[in-house]
Structure 1
Amino acid sequence: MTGELNYRKLGLKAGLEIHQQLNTKYKLFCKCSTEMKEKAPVSTIIRKLHPVASELGSTDVAAEFEYLRNRTFHYQVFKNESCLVEIDCEPPHELNPEALYITLQIAQLFNCEIPNELHILRKTVIDGSNTSGFQRTLIVGLNGHLNFKGKKIEITQITLEEDAAAIVSEENGKVSYRLNRLGIPLVEIDTGLLEGYSPTEIQEIAYIIGLLAKSTGKTKRGIGSIRQDVNISIKNGLRVEVKGVQELGLISKVIENEVKRQLSEKVKEETRVALPDGATKFMRPLPGADRMYPETDIPPVVVDKEYLEKIKEDLPEPWTKKLAQFKSKLKLSDQLANETLRSAHLDLFEKIIKTEKVEPAIVASTLTQTLKDLERKEQIVSISLTEKHFLAIFDALEKKKIAKEAIPEILIYFSKKPGNSISTAITDLNLTAISIPELKKIVKGIITQPNITLDRAIGIVMSKVRGKIEAQTVIKTVKKMFKP
């Protein structure tokens, strides 16, 4: 199939479910850490899960499908990051008040109605990602909206729930999961029917939803902290749910590919999983509507008006205002402003520009483009870089101890030797900044060579002083001193 598809004519309908981890100290129903720093499990438990009929005597079709796969689940337990609650050997503790506060903030940012009483529910899940066979969830906001190109996009509900265990491997009917992710507070933001929008516009809507949630400054960032599910159908077709779109920029491609698949194949109502290339593959049948039932171990949570007013007073500034400030006050380009706003290092960016007198564009490009480039080339592992490393680098830049061109080399150095100081890094890499007189002395020694050209002189000088002084200063100085 070739050519641009007319999505309006095809009757494209979509719905988004945006899942975002909250950056709380503890999990949703226990005091285990949410940091996921532990590498080695302290033990493993083994389970098989079975579906149970509801009070009406029916069994969820998705649960029945998972049961018939006859798989055994191995759960890795981690010190301080999983406990008896995660392995379903102890009732859940009290609902995490910090997680509820953040979710209520997010609900107000989306103009939602807040119920007076919040009821915790159990959602049947027996794919192995929950040891108990269900996920605890509570509806926090209803009937909200956001503005997009002059239209109101319906936000049907916002829920607070437990994140699932992270899958490690699957082979010959044995599935291994890590329990340190299970129970981390997760907010789910669901849109209403998105009809009359292109795949690119639907992706833009997902981007805005993510920005609003992140504007609280209390969401986790990085790989796996945000996941998107997309419900897709076309005219006279059936709904297909695509789960696990990890990259925001992949949403439009997933929709485009799924529409093409639905045009060329007989479609069944089913859940599919997104692949890294934007294609999808069958996962299981769509779950039924009767897989939710009350959680009997936790009482309802009452939300009073005074508490909501306190939250309202603590709401962050709109992301649109912050974006405008990045461009007008900080002089960031449109692209750099947008990249910074959705970066995992947004908070660090704002801290650095407040504490260090360095050009905001240098900080922004380092935390977005430079890091991505170095990670793509596998020159760094950014998880080993901490806030102190970046603060040290930009403090050295402000004090003219290094040139901005030295930043990538120092990041690579810190990635390999995170325990060393900035002064040690500068010495080991021979990146001590040089003065203009020192530069002129080097330039003089080069341009007096016989048959030297301007371009050749610039190249030689740059190779000698790279990272020790700004490139533009080198070029300007060589041009000024060069006499053909």
Structure 2
Amino acid sequence: MEDSFYRDVGLKVGLEIHQRLDSHKLFCNCPSILREEEPHSWISRNLSVSYSELGTIDPAARFESLRRRNFLYGIYFDTTCEVEIDEAPPHPLNEDALEISIQVALMLRMKPIDEIHVMRKIVVDGSNTTGFQRTALVALGHGESYIETSKGKVRLETLCLEEESAYIVESTPEFAKYRLDRLGIPLVEISTAPDIWHPEQAMEAALKIGRILRATGRVQRGIGTIRQDINVSIEGGARQEIKGIQELELIPEVIRREILRQQNLLKIQEELRKRGIDEKDVDDPIYDITDALSQTGSQLIKRSLTRGERIFGMRVKGFRGLIGKEIQPERRFGTELADYARVFGGVKGILHGDELPGYGIGDEEVKRIRDALSCDDDDSFILVIGERSSSTLALESVRSRIKFSIRGIPSETRRALPDGNTSFMRPMPGAARMYPETDILPVKTAPIINRIRELPKMPEETVSELIKEYGINSELAWDLYDEGKISLFKKLVSYGAPASFTAATLTSTMRMLRREGENIERITEDHLVELFRFLGDGMLAKEAVPEVLRGIARGDYSSVHDYLKSYSMSLDELDSLIDSTLERFRDKVLERGDRAFGMLMGEVMRVARGRIDGSIVSERLRIKLKEFLKT
């Protein structure tokens, strides 16, 4: 799309970057490490919501309380403690984590506040055992606090230090299971102003902020250690908080699809106005219409009725053709409604009038449904299959969302999906969710700032030095920086392989293998050191590197030496191959003389490629050709 399009739709985007810090947990001394094995024990909890100091209840918290779910928490006796399970008060704020966050603030030209006060942010979805997340404002932006992008400045507003949430293992309408190994890991959160007006600009700003975070050398690396939330709105629409984008490359697509979603929702609103539909028009009762489908041929319905479930429905006046309208690729307005039904009512989904006949439900059965719900020609309907209480709750939540579509677009917290679409998570939180933490004393920042004698090099300076010292191009240098492989590169290049080849092996070759589905986590630093030593000694050909790494990733070889023993070519084997090739092409060699070298090299390399260095082949072939022509 042209840049003018984003200006015309009034696109506004703000970023929230969350980065885990490389320090022990924020309010206890437990290590910030993630566990893969089954927790040693589980505990059960229920959470409830209370009024804030202002006498109000946060809408997101109220929403979660309506679900009345039970929460199970997995604990590890050696790496979690009573603080995580809320059986002991929090320790003082981790000053190492606070120092890192202040260092980041100074690198971003933000102003640390004089005194840190920890706040509680109400969270009752089970991701915190306490029912709230602890967070502290560390620094504020000012006139010099911004990220320069190719499409303009992006101002930085706040930098906070907060605790990571628990890791969700399983979620159902009745309960959720979390592991507590992740809970309490320190996170720095950087929020920008809504200055971003182009999808690619959002990715660029997020990339630059992430690079500055990595420049400290004191942040965790790897999948899940940094994530981006984005706030998106367009003119006439509403702000959406889209959470959990872990891949930078996905940010522009999420924004583009959110623009499309809001534009299509506005078109639905406009069409409803033309049809004269008001909110009171969608107040029809909910009916049990099981009898209308008791003799259906639909296997979906039959299986549900066999389980003792019922079919509930309601008319949606004037909505015919709108519930089935596509609002994002492969997602329709009905999908949005189904999200509400699933989240609030715990049902599997909905059936609606715009998609029937279908699912084995025929024309005659649709007619019986419409008659049972008193639908006119312009009306649609929503069906839910389940037990009465959950189905009623699901349909009432759908009704609420339908009513809002007549008013406009609701502000929501949404989840980013792998294809760039989003789905409803919960209502947008409000100001009532924050209140002071009374168990932790304030911390003055001046002594910590005084301890920070020197700031790390900025990313641009580090990359510039890398290019100058090793002669690699800018793209390779930034790849090494972004993937945290500069130190390893400097170590490996000392064994004599070309710098650009070494850099490309660590970056593009590894990415290629990952895309192919290879388990590159099996490739250790020791493997790479061994690989580049053999390359430097001429015992391994550069062409063989991808195959060697692929074999190690698959477990075919435990070391590079194992590969060499099974696949490499000795000098004796090479000499024998050259001799047989010279004999096979004797007439052509005698006819062409030295000019036969290129042809011979190609023939020998067909067999030797990847098994021995090409420069060795070339050297041995020249010697052998010279001797052959003398005889």
User: What TM-score comes out, normalization by structure 2 length?
Assistant: 0.69
Structure 1 residues 456 and 88: alpha-carbon distance in aligned structure 2, compared to 1, 3 A threshold: farther
Measured in 2, the distance between the counterparts of 1:439 and 1:414 equals 25
Partner of 2:108: 110
Deviation, structure 1 residue 248: 0.5
Deviation, structure 1 residue 265: 0.7
Structure 1 residues 41 and 208: alpha-carbon distance in aligned structure 2, compared to 1, 3 A threshold: same
Greater shift in the superposed pair: 336-345 or 55-64: 336-345
Measured in 2, the distance between the counterparts of 1:348 and 1:98 equals 26
1:385-404 equivalences under 5 Å are: 385-404=523-542
Structure 2 residue matching 1:15: 3-state secondary structure: strand
Greater shift in the superposed pair: 405-414 or 109-118: 405-414
Partner of 1:49: 47
Deviation, structure 1 residue 463: 5.4
Q: Which of 304, 308, 316 in structure 1 is aligned with 2:449?
A: 308
Partner of 1:12: 11
Deviation, structure 1 residue 57: 1.6
Greater shift in the superposed pair: 357-366 or 458-467: 458-467
Q: Which of 504, 508, 512 in structure 2 is aligned with 1:369?
A: 508
Partner of 1:245: 245
Deviation, structure 1 residue 12: 0.6
Partner of 1:166: 167
Partner of 2:430: 288
Greater shift in the superposed pair: 13-22 or 150-159: 150-159
Listed one character per residue, the Cα deviations across residues 219-273 of structure 1 (whole Å, up to 9, x for unaligned) are 1111111100010011132111110111001111111110111111142111111
Structure 1 residue matching 2:88: 3-state secondary structure: coil
Deviation, structure 1 residue 469: 2.5
Structure 1 residue matching 2:181: 3-state secondary structure: coil
Partner of 1:468: 611
1:49-128 equivalences under 5 Å are: 49-128=47-126
Measured in 1, the distance between the counterparts of 2:622 and 2:130 equals 72
1:184-223 equivalences under 5 Å are: 184-195=185-196, 197-223=197-223
Question: Is the contact between residue 243 and residue 413 of structure 2 (CA under 8 Å) also seen in structure 1?
Answer: yes
Listed one character per residue, the Cα deviations across residues 274-312 of structure 1 (whole Å, up to 9, x for unaligned) are 01111111111110012111111111111125x424324
Structure 1 residues 250 and 171: alpha-carbon distance in aligned structure 2, compared to 1, 3 A threshold: same
Measured in 2, the distance between the counterparts of 1:476 and 1:192 equals 62
Which aligned segments of 4 or more residues in structure 1 are displaced greater than 4 angstroms? 2-5, 416-422, 450-460, 471-483
Question: Is the contact between residue 162 and residue 186 of structure 1 (CA under 8 Å) also seen in structure 2?
Answer: yes
Question: Is the contact between residue 518 and residue 554 of structure 2 (CA under 8 Å) also seen in structure 1?
Answer: no
Structure 1 residues 401 and 149: alpha-carbon distance in aligned structure 2, compared to 1, 3 A threshold: same
Question: Is the contact between residue 194 and residue 202 of structure 1 (CA under 8 Å) also seen in structure 2?
Answer: no
1:405 aligned onto 2:543: yes
Question: Is the contact between residue 253 and residue 278 of structure 1 (CA under 8 Å) also seen in structure 2?
Answer: yes
Structure 1 residues 97 and 387: alpha-carbon distance in aligned structure 2, compared to 1, 3 A threshold: farther
Q: Which of 322, 340, 343 in structure 1 is aligned with 2:483?
A: 343
Unaligned runs of 5+ in 2: 267-408, 589-595
Measured in 1, the distance between the counterparts of 2:165 and 2:239 equals 24
Structure 2 residue matching 1:252: 3-state secondary structure: helix
Deviation, structure 1 residue 4: 8.0
Partner of 1:40: 38
Question: Is the contact between residue 539 and residue 612 of structure 2 (CA under 8 Å) also seen in structure 1?
Answer: no
1:444 aligned onto 2:579: yes
Deviation, structure 1 residue 477: 7.2
Task: Select the structure of larger CA radius of gyration.
Answer: 2
Greater shift in the superposed pair: 12-21 or 395-404: 395-404
Question: Is the contact between residue 380 and residue 411 of structure 1 (CA under 8 Å) also seen in structure 2?
Answer: no
Question: Is the contact between residue 105 and residue 312 of structure 1 (CA under 8 Å) also seen in structure 2?
Answer: no
User: What TM-score comes out, normalization by structure 1 length?
Assistant: 0.88
Partner of 2:378: none
Deviation, structure 1 residue 214: 0.7
Greater shift in the superposed pair: 337-346 or 119-128: 337-346
Deviation, structure 1 residue 56: 1.9
Measured in 2, the distance between the counterparts of 1:177 and 1:349 equals 38
Measured in 1, the distance between the counterparts of 2:64 and 2:600 equals 69
Greater shift in the superposed pair: 400-409 or 267-276: 400-409
Question: Is the contact between residue 406 and residue 431 of structure 1 (CA under 8 Å) also seen in structure 2?
Answer: no
Structure 1 residue matching 2:584: 3-state secondary structure: coil
Structure 1 residues 225 and 150: alpha-carbon distance in aligned structure 2, compared to 1, 3 A threshold: same
More helix by share: 2
Structure 1 residues 133 and 416: alpha-carbon distance in aligned structure 2, compared to 1, 3 A threshold: same
Measured in 2, the distance between the counterparts of 1:304 and 1:9 equals 46
Deviation, structure 1 residue 325: 2.7
Structure 1 residues 346 and 256: alpha-carbon distance in aligned structure 2, compared to 1, 3 A threshold: farther
Q: Which of 119, 129, 136 in structure 1 is aligned with 2:127?
A: 129
Measured in 2, the distance between the counterparts of 1:221 and 1:280 equals 26
Structure 1 residues 210 and 411: alpha-carbon distance in aligned structure 2, compared to 1, 3 A threshold: same
Structure 1 residues 166 and 447: alpha-carbon distance in aligned structure 2, compared to 1, 3 A threshold: farther
AA in 1 matched with 2:125: D
Measured in 1, the distance between the counterparts of 2:205 and 2:242 equals 17
Partner of 1:254: 254
Unaligned runs of 5+ in 1: none
Deviation, structure 1 residue 88: 1.3
Structure 2 residue matching 1:206: 3-state secondary structure: helix
AA in 1 matched with 2:161: L
Deviation, structure 1 residue 344: 4.3
Listed one character per residue, the Cα deviations across residues 130-174 of structure 1 (whole Å, up to 9, x for unaligned) are 111111111111113233349542110111111111222223533
AA in 2 matched with 1:332: I
Measured in 2, the distance between the counterparts of 1:253 and 1:455 equals 49
Structure 1 residue matching 2:204: 3-state secondary structure: helix
Structure 1 residues 475 and 377: alpha-carbon distance in aligned structure 2, compared to 1, 3 A threshold: farther
Structure 1 residues 172 and 455: alpha-carbon distance in aligned structure 2, compared to 1, 3 A threshold: farther
Structure 1 residues 97 and 269: alpha-carbon distance in aligned structure 2, compared to 1, 3 A threshold: same
Partner of 2:374: none
